Amino acid sequence: MTATVIDGKAFAAKVRGQVAEHVAKLKEEHGITPGLAVVLVGEDPASEVYVAAKHRQTVEVGMASFEHKLPADVSEDALFEVIDKLNADPKVHGILCQFPVPDHLSERRVVARIDPNKDVDGLSVANAGLLASGETGLVSCTPLGCLMLLRDQLGNMSGMNAVVVGRSNLFGKPMAQLLLQENCTVTIAHSRTKDLAEVCGRADILVAAVGRAEMVQGDWVKPGATVIDVGITRIPHPEKPGKSKLLGDVEFGSASNVAAAITPVPGGVGPMTIACLLANTLTACCRSNGLPEPEGLTA
């Protein structure tokens, strides 16, 4: 079997188009422009690339983009002062602090400082709790993007066996909650899971978010499964000196011979993450203004 390759890049462009349409309507009918603020601490090259992409796409869909670049040695107090200002700013509907942050800062404390209504990363305890309780909050962008791809691919997921490899707060846990909400039978695997290959082999939906390049082999995959590859590992390009290459957590070649559908890296889940960040900012803006939410862009 040769799997369908799920085109996340094209799907993300479609999502951004829907966001742009809704943003235009908000401006025209209500004079409101949704705004996203991104805080970057230090000079991590990968983070700079992501933040630049976020800024460009935010502007492209007609939203206001606010960037705050702080030095690597910024104190917690100074960072919190910036976050407090953004919390209070009515032009800002979404706030994201790019991770990782330098070691002297705590991601947990940074997230806790952001107003949960503006927490477009969905990482706050309030938003994680709302998701776990089946209530309405803001959902972490990458799992939301994976959900959109799965709904498009499979429609009804009720009764399917879903395996999520990875249990981070940013991805694995919220992904598992979303699949549970879709009535899947969900297994969460991690570094202590025994016989991971066998666990993966039971999955109708296999989601890998580990950060170990090409760990999931083709013979771990159930024939006909849908495989979502979240992992991103950057390695020096084997042929082009000075360039880098991205690898997923799934060995694409062997897995695509067994799966029914699979996301590639790059061009799969990654582009959906930024599209969903914009979707979440729009959702947060609509909620804070008491306006109806965009359809099809929330969990």
Ligand X SMILES: Nc1nc(=O)c2c([nH]1)NC[C@@H]1CN(c3ccc(C(=O)N[C@@H](CCC(=O)O)C(=O)O)cc3)C=[N+]21
Binding residue for ligand NDP, selected from 30, 109, 190, 237, defined by CB under 6 A: 190
Asked whether position 232 contacts ligand X by CB under 6 A, the answer is yes
Q: Is 42 in the site for ligand X (CB under 6 A)?
A: no
The answer to the question of whether 274 is labelled as a binding residue is no
Residue 194 interacting with ligand NDP (CB under 6 A): no
The stretch among 95-103, 173-181, 205-213, 279-287 that binds ligand X (CB under 6 A) is 95-103
> Candidates 64-72, 94-102, 186-194, 251-259 — which segment interacts with ligand X by CB under 6 A?
94-102
Which residues, other chains included, contact 73 with Cβ-Cβ below 8 Å and sequence gap of 6+? 102, 104
- Least spacing, CB of residue 122 vs ligand NDP, in Å: 12
Contacting residue, 151, 212, 245, 287, with ligand NDP by CB under 6 A: 212
Among 165, 200, 207, 258, binds ligand NDP (CB under 6 A): 165
| Residue among 271, 282, 283, 298 that touches ligand X (CB under 6 A) | 271
**Which of residues 184, 270, 284, 299 is near ligand X by CB under 6 A?**
270
Q: Is 211 in the site for ligand NDP (CB under 6 A)?
A: yes
Determine the size of the site formed for ligand NDP (CB under 6 A).
25
Residue 249 amino acid letter: D
Identified catalytic residue from 18, 118, 121, 222:
121
Among ligand X, ligand NDP, none, partner that 168 touches (CB below 5 to 8 angstroms by kind): ligand NDP
Q: Of the two residues 24 and 235, which places its CB atom closer to ligand X in the complex?
A: 235
Residues binding ligand NDP (CB under 6 A): 142, 165-168, 170-172, 189-193, 196, 209-212, 230-233, 269-270, 273
Annotated binding site: 166-168, 232
